[in-house]
Amino acid sequence: MIQFEDIVSGLVDGLDPLEGFNDGNPRQPKAYWGTQEDLPRFLKEYKENSTPLAWVVSKPDTRILDGYVRDAEIAFCGRQTRELLNTARMEVSYKSVLIPFWVSFERAANKSQNIVIEKGTEVFEKFPNYSTDSKKSQAAQEIWDVLKVSFTARFYEDNNC
């Protein structure tokens, strides 16, 4: 059985490095997966080594005649090193990194023969200042911006990426 997580990882691994980070260096995006509850723990553990990140939220797959279908959720994550107002975050994180990350991923998916993102099913949700520390102490807090994209995906095991 083909794994949705493997398809996403393969697509993300094939993307070009992303620009728009505080240090000016492009970074190769990464993919990982788990429950929504696992994400803060992963972000806190791996810090800079996990950004930019496509986090595949664990969901059930349904077998269909020629493959599988999933109500997919992917959280596109970027780390910030400073507190910003949401208007600045829109420019610095969302427009510069996270939205281009989604667009690159969607283009790669459209070229793939393993996955189809059903048009018209995409839902976008922004989570600015997504914290990995519930205490909110400035010294320990890791600040993330997240663009969660939900969509219906069909994927197939008889094709190659």
pLDDT digits (tens, 9 = 90+) for 41-97: 887 777 666 779 999 999 999 999 889 999 999 999 887 766 777 888 888 889 988
Among the ranges 86-90, 102-106, 119-123, which has the highest mean pLDDT value? 102-106
- Domain for residue 161, yes or no? no
**What is the tally of structural domains in the chain?**
1
Domain boundaries, position 47? 4-155
Cβ contacts of 160 within 8 Å, gap of 6 or more: 113, 114
- Domain for residue 150, yes or no? yes
Alpha-carbon Rg for the chain, nearest whole angstrom, is 16
- Domain for residue 160, yes or no? no
